[in-house]
């Protein structure tokens, strides 16, 4: 096929070598299931009751046995041919287990009845278990498996204790039970009904296993503390075959090798980003600064006592040892080597994690920071693998935003840098070798960007706070044109561009975009021939074609610019149900992060990208990679981790996989999009150091290692300036410092001003543009033709990259 034949003509031809479609194919569904098994985390396994013995009699309890949540809601949802719940997963294994049918029938009737009423998976209250079913189950077996599920989605956040007695804004369907209009304790915690179920079942059976079908951080203190609960598996939201993946692991058809990508603390209030999360819909103050996740719990006095399961934690059915650790530095590169040996009776995988403890110096540092990791191959009992991990010394550097050593520079402070090597942040052991600096070293001199204007203080390593100067954000909110009303900004569909417009080419010299691809004309020369009106239309979203529902880029037939469609779906290609196309739902991003294996993400990216391409979509709006600052963010299931290095490495793997199909990946949401409530107008207030070291670092890793073709700015305001209009962030850091050469798009229907976004380096306005505003701004001098040309060049370069 010729250039753009799929995206222009929509032939809907299969990509499979055998002439079959790859979309929702058996091969892709198997990739989804296997990825799910790689990221599920075994929390507890007392007396080694797992894996279940062949033919083991089992009783399943909890409505989540049937009410399985494959992934979160909103743009992360996927229309699938089927979903395998846990009960169905066990049944697919035949004689591997013997199931108590009465409890399955009870939950199946209950859940299916509520589904018929329009209830969504994960939003169903736990029913009271009939006493006669419990009695019969005890007579059938001594082993019970209790399942708990949770659901969250785009546009709303999870509940905190502070809002128990008031309406929870932004939630159309609360995640927890409601009685008399009052929120019951639940969501992060067990509901009262779930507590009663767990207590009655765990005390009735000799062996009790917990399965958590969740998308983010959750209270697991009751699991660790209970003597009646013998084992627990975080199965996460494992995609369309998550129930089968869970059943296979519980039965020993595979060995859990997932490691926590977040710290699991005892209480919701133990997370520093949670205390003021719901204080205001208008802003969020990132007072904890760089002390996010384990950086907080491992550093701040007494915080370590709040941890139930630490970052990087995860058990296996076998036992591993890490030995013969050797570390050396050569020309600024640190090389860590270690032996990993399987000392147990089952084949399995282990993850070697390397942390650095930096000198506190003048800037202050976290007690430990992840600097490298590597997952082993599948090791047979007795087998040893020599693991090698490399990273530059410069990753230890801290950003000095206040000039304590060198203002606006990444600095390595003098002193001893100690290495810790192990299999989670707590059990990592100090290595003999250290990296020592006799003098401070300026790693990279930059200039101030995105400085705070309203953040009053930030946390320091000793637990005290440092006061910050207040800036002035008024200049960011000046409008050269009369602002658009909210009705004008919200929910518009792209208009169809007039057939012809005045252009700068003489008829005989008129060129087509394909001439740029074939080298007949330069892209700059091509853009010179586009009229101002052509450019004004080009920098905005275009109408849907084919199966798309998120609009497109390009769409100028006069110059041969195709209309390239976009599609949602961090967990798989998202096509609206009424279209009739079913696609593969892959595990949620949090589960993928818990694989600690970028190659798993790459395989998912390849498969998902093939489905995107087969359905004639050119741009996939994934991966999403914001930091898990607080358990309360309703969209955490779309994001990877609390750690920027793990986030960046996993997302880079995904991007490489997607773009191997010659379609564009779009990393999002750039940046500090850590709250869904009032997300279009909430101000994220953070220090420049926290922004650079925590919230932008993952994006930086992906840009430099995987070279994504596009990036999506977020809805929110950052230190008084909208992300989509933030010239410091886009032209300054993304393009200027990191060398990004792709296209930048807004999120859909931001409250930013089209011409201001374009001027800041945000090339595309989605879901629709405002060409009249662009022309008016151009005539008034609020934007220049050169700035429009740059945006057009980035958009057309993206289209030229797609095949």
Sequence-distant (6+) residues with CB within 8 A of 581 are 23, 79, 547, 575, 615
Is there a contact between 711 and 742 (Cβ–Cβ < 8 Å)?
A: yes
Question: DSSP secondary-structure letter at 494?
Answer: P
Catalytic residue among 401, 747, 772, 786: 747
**Strand ranges, E, within 8-99:** 41-45, 56-61, 97-99
| Angle subtended at Cα 116 by Cα 114 and Cα 122, rounded to the nearest 5 degrees | 45
Please give the full DSSP string across 706-728, using - where no structure is assigned. H--SEEEE-SSEETTEEGGG-TI
Q: Residue 430 corresponds to which tokens in the numbers above?
A: 């100090």
What whole-number distance in Å separates Cα of residue 270 and Cα of residue 632? Answer: 12
Pairing of strands 710-713, 664-670: parallel
Beta bridge partners of 339: 323, 386
Q: State how far the Cα of 6 lies from the Cα of 335, in Å rounded to an integer.
A: 45
Short-list 516, 518, 565, 568, CA closest to 545? 565
Nearest to 164 by CA among 174, 153, 172: 174
Tell me how far CA of residue 59 lies from CA of 105, 145, 209, 227, in angstroms.
12, 6, 10, 19
Which among 628, 590, 633 has a CA at the least distance from the CA of 160?
633
Report the distance separating Cα 66 and Cα 477, nearest Å.
Answer: 50
Q: In angstroms, what CA-CA distances link 39 with 286, 314, 600, 643, 688?
A: 29, 10, 9, 16, 33
Beta bridge partners of 234: 41, 212
Cα distance between residue 151 and residue 570, in whole Å: 16
Residues with Cβ within 8 Å of 608's Cβ and at least 6 positions away in sequence, in order, are 569, 572, 573, 584, 586, 620, 622, 657, 658
Burial of 117 (C-beta count, 10 Å sphere; 0-12/13-18/19+): exposed
Six-digit token pair at 363?
């800037």
CA-based torsion, 177, 182, 187, 188: positive or negative: negative
Neighbours of 337 (CB within 10 A): 16
* Cα–Cα distance, 27 to 46 (Å, whole number): 36
Give the whole-angstrom CA distance, residue 659 versus residue 619: 10
Contact call for residues 692 and 399 (beta carbons, < 8 A): yes
| Contact status, residue 592 vs residue 641, Cβ threshold 8 Å | no
Structure token pair of residue 198: 């767990």
Specify whether 747 is catalytic.
Answer: yes
d(CA 689, CA 293): 16
| Helix-, strand-, coil-residue percentages of the chain, each rounded to 5 | 30, 20, 50
Long-range (24+ apart) CB contacts under 8 A made by 511-518 are 511/559, 512/559, 512/560, 513/559, 513/560, 513/561, 513/562, 513/796, 513/799, 513/800, 514/3, 514/560, 516/796, 516/800, 517/3, 517/800
According to DSSP, residue 786 is labeled H
Q: How many CA atoms lie within 13 A of 82 on its CB side?
A: 10
How far, in Å, CA of 34 to CA of 238, rounded?
Answer: 10
Kindly list the catalytic residues: 747
């Amino acid at each position: 096929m010729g250039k753009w034949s799929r995206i222009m003509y929509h032939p809907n031809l299969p990509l499979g070598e055998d002439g079959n479609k790859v979309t929702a194919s058996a091969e892709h569904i198997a990739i989804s299931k296997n990825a799910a098994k790689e990221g599920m985390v075994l929390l507890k396994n007392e007396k080694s009751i797992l894996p279940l013995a062949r033919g083991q009699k089992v009783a399943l309890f909890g409505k989540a046995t049937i009410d399985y949540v494959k992934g979160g809601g909103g743009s992360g949802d996927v229309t699938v041919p089927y979903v395998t719940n846990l009960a169905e997963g066990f049944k697919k294994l035949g004689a591997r287990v013997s199931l108590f049918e009465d409890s399955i029938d009870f939950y199946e009737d209950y859940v299916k009845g509520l589904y018929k009423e329009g209830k969504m998976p994960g939003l169903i209250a736990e029913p009271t278990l009939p006493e006669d079913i419990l009695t019969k189950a005890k007579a059938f077996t001594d082993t019970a498996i209790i399942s708990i599920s949770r659901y969250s989605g785009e546009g709303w956040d999870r509940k905190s204790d502070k809002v128990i007695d008031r309406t929870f804004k932004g939630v159309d369907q609360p995640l927890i039970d409601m009685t008399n209009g009052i929120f019951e304790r639940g969501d992060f915690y067990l509901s009262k009904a779930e507590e009663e179920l767990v207590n009655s079942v765990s005390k009735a059976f000799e062996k009790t296993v917990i399965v958590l079908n969740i998308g983010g951080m959750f209270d697991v203190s009751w699991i660790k503390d209970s003597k009646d609960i013998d084992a627990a598996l975080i199965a996460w939201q494992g995609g369309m075959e998550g129930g089968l993946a869970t059943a296979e692991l519980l039965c020993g058809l595979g060995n859990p090798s997932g490691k926590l990508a977040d710290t699991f603390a005892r209480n919701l209030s133990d997370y520093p980003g949670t205390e003021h999360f719901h204080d205001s819909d208008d802003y969020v103050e990132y007072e904890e600064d760089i002390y996010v996740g384990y950086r907080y719990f491992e550093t701040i006095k007494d915080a370590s006592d709040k941890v139930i399961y630490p970052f990087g934690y995860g058990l296996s059915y076998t036992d591993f040892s890490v030995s013969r650790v050797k570390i050396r530095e050569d020309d600024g590169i640190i090389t860590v080597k270690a032996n990993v040996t399987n000392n147990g009776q089952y084949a399995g995988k282990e993850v070697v994690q390397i942390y650095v403890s930096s000198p506190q110096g003048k800037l202050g540092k976290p007690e430990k920071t992840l600097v490298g990791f590597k997952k082993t191959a599948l090791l047979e009992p007795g087998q040893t693998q020599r693991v090698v991990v490399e990273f530059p010394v410069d990753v230890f550097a801290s950003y000095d935003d206040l000039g304590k050593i060198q203002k606006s520079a990444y600095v390595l402070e003098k002193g001893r840098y100690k290495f810790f090597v192990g299999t989670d942040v707590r059990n990592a052991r100090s290595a003999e070798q250290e990296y020592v600096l006799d003098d401070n070293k300026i790693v990279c001199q930059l200039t101030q960007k995105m400085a705070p204007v309203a953040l009053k203080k930030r946390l320091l390593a000793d637990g005290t706070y440092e006061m910050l100067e207040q800036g002035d954000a008024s200049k960011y909110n000046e409008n050269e044109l009369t602002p658009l009303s909210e009705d004008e900004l919200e929910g518009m569909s792209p208009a169809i561009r007039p057939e012809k417009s005045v252009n700068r080419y003489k008829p005989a010299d008129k060129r087509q975009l394909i001439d740029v691809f074939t080298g007949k004309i330069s892209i700059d020369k091509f853009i010179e021939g586009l009229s101002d009106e052509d450019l004004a239309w080009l920098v905005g979203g275009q109408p849907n074609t084919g199966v798309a529902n998120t609009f497109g880029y390009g769409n100028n037939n006069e110059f041969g610019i195709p209309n390239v469609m976009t599609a949602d779906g961090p967990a798989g290609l998202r096509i609206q149900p009424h279209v009739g196309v079913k696609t593969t739902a892959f595990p949620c991003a949090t589960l993928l992060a818990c694989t600690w294996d970028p190659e798993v993400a790459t395989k998912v990216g390849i498969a998902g990208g093939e489905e995107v391409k087969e359905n004639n979509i050119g741009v996939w709006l994934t991966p999403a990679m914001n930091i898990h600052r607080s358990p309360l963010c309703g969209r955490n299931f779309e994001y990877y981790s609390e750690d920027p290095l793990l986030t960046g490495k996993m997302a880079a793997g995904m991007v490489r996989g997607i773009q191997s199909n010659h379609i564009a990946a779009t990393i999002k949401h750039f940046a500090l999009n850590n709250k869904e409530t009032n997300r279009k107008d909430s101000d994220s207030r953070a220090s420049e150091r926290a922004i650079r070291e925590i919230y932008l670092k993952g994006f930086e890793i992906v840009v430099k290692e995987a070279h994504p073709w596009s990036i999506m700015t977020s809805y929110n305001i950052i230190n008084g300036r909208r992300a989509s209009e933030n010239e410091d962030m886009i032209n300054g850091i993304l393009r200027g410092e990191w060398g990004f050469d792709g296209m930048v798009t807004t999120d859909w229907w931001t409250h930013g001003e089209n011409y201001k976004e374009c001027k800041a380096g945000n090339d595309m306005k989605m879901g629709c543009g405002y060409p009249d505003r662009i022309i008016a701004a151009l005539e008034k001098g609020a934007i220049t033709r050169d700035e429009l040309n740059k945006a057009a060049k980035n958009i057309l370069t993206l289209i030229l990259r797609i095949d």
